[in-house]
């Protein structure tokens, strides 16, 4: 580590540390740096050059052994931005060391590990927030509010499309993507997990799922699926059709359409609500200034700020482990269904 002390450290603020200084960590670090409630105290990465570069950019301590930030009694909150296979163990260890955790998606690769995360958060009393930032997009918030208001009447159905592009270097250059052991899957667990989460958030509890996965491109490079589809039946009687691929020529905006008795909602880089009587409302996404890749959604900042606000207020962060596990249950049902050819009950 270096011994740099952060000059803006303020005893009233939460001391934060980030584990994993790769692509996504800058969104976490930039948000903490500008937060009135938090200060970035340390970063950790097994790659010394990455850890050092981040510490110089954000004027904080750095470690190459993440257990050092767990042992630092001054750290209140740990952001986990590491590869998927490390999420559960790191987050459980952090909570057991008395830290609150903001955990990148997926919360775990395997469902028993996700359940252990929920148990540990309850047992330690430490907050666990899962980065499904797209729930904070303007279009998602407006759609959820419309659906819960009852203005749409009965939910009839939905369709969702994630059509993105990932090249060979995306997988081979990472050391963890494209493998079952380290990534835990492909387009389902990494890219379209956000869309699965939104579908269940909008549409409610799921009854059963039938789906399939395939590897259409880069079969010699990756073990995992790059394409998936599913039919999702909800308790309400509505059905959703879902398609996701990393084999498109571009990273197109995610499209989610929801049909209700009184209106059709379409999210595609903004939200349009077309009422059966001809009226129409539209909402564009705000805050494109975070530097986030647009197709990721631009709401990391909002989610992280909400997490710190809840900590400061002493209230529960809503996107916790019990919410984070739902999309994981959906994608594991799709993997199982793809093997068995049967509907999987949830």
- For residue 190, the 8-state DSSP code is I
Q: Which is nearer to ligand NAD, 61 or 260 (CB)?
A: 61
Give the tokens for residue 68: 């050092």
Helix axes 25-33, 48-58, angle to 10 degrees: 20
Q: Which is nearer to ligand NAD, 238 or 292 (CB)?
A: 292
Q: According to the binding rule CB under 6 A, does residue 66 interact with ligand NAD?
A: yes
Q: According to the binding rule CB under 6 A, does residue 20 interact with ligand NAD?
A: yes
Q: According to the binding rule CB under 6 A, does residue 21 interact with ligand NAD?
A: yes
* Residues binding ligand NAD: number (CB under 6 A): 25
Q: Which is nearer to ligand NAD, 187 or 206 (CB)?
A: 187
Q: Dihedrals φ, ψ of 26, to 5°?
A: -65, -35
Q: According to the binding rule CB under 6 A, does residue 184 interact with ligand NAD?
A: no
Q: According to the binding rule CB under 6 A, does residue 323 interact with ligand NAD?
A: no
User: How many whole angstroms separate alpha carbon 318 and alpha carbon 329?
Assistant: 18
Q: Which is nearer to ligand NAD, 191 or 337 (CB)?
A: 191
Q: According to the binding rule CB under 6 A, does residue 210 interact with ligand NAD?
A: no
Q: Which is nearer to ligand NAD, 129 or 152 (CB)?
A: 129
Secondary structure (DSSP) of 142-171: HHHHHHHHTTT-SEEEEEEEEE-B--HHHH
Which residue spans within 131-238 are E strands per DSSP? 155-163, 206-214, 227-234
Whether the Cβ atoms of residue 149 and residue 265 lie closer than 8 Å to each other: no
> In this chain, which of 42, 55, 163, 190 binds ligand NAD, going by CB under 6 A?
190
3-state secondary structure (DSSP) of residue 316: coil
Q: According to the binding rule CB under 6 A, does residue 84 interact with ligand NAD?
A: yes
3-state secondary structure (DSSP) of residue 76: coil
How near is the Cβ of 344 to ligand NAD at its closest, in Å? 24
> Which residues would be at the binding site for ligand NAD (CB under 6 A)?
19-25, 44-47, 50, 66, 81-84, 86, 104-105, 131, 133, 174, 190, 296
């Amino acid at each position: 580590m270096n011994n740099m002390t952060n000059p803006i450290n303020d005893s009233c603020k939460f001391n934060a540390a980030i584990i994993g200084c790769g692509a996504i960590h800058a969104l976490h670090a930039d948000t903490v740096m500008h937060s009135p409630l938090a200060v970035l105290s340390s970063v950790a990465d097994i790659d010394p050059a990455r850890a050092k570069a981040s510490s110089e950019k954000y004027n904080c301590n750095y470690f190459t052994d993440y257990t050092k930030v767990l042992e630092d009694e001054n750290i209140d909150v740990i952001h986990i931005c590491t590869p998927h296979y490390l999420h559960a163990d790191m987050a459980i260890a952090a909570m057991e060391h008395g830290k609150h955790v903001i955990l990148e998606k997926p919360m775990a690769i395997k469902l028993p590990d996700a359940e252990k995360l929920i148990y540990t958060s309850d047992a330690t009393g430490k907050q666990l927030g899962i980065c499904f930032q797209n729930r904070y997009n303007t279009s998602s918030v407006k759609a959820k509010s419309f659906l819960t208001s009852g203005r749409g009447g009965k939910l009839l159905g939905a369709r969702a499309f994630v059509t993105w592009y990932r090249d060979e270097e995306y997988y081979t250059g990472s050391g963890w993507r494209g493998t079952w052991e380290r990534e835990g899957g492909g387009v389902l667990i990494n890219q379209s997990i956000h869309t699965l989460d939104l579908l269940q958030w909008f549409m409610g509890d799921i009854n059963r799922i039938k789906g399939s996965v395939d590897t259409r491109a880069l079969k010699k490079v990756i073990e995992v699926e790059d394409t998936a589809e599913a039919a999702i039946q909800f308790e309400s009687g509505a059905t959703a059709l879902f398609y996701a691929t990393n084999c498109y020529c571009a990273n197109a905006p995610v499209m989610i359409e929801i049909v209700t008795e009184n209106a059709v909602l379409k999210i595609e880089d903004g939200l349009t609500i077309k009422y059966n009587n001809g009226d129409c409302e539209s909402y564009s996404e705000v805050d494109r200034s975070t530097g986030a890749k647009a197709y990721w959604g631009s709401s990391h900042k909002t989610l992280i700020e909400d997490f710190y606000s809840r900590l400061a207020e002493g209230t529960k962060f809503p996107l916790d482990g019990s919410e984070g596990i739902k999309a994981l249950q959906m994608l594991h049902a799709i993997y199982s269904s793809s093997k068995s050819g049967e509907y999987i009950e949830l």
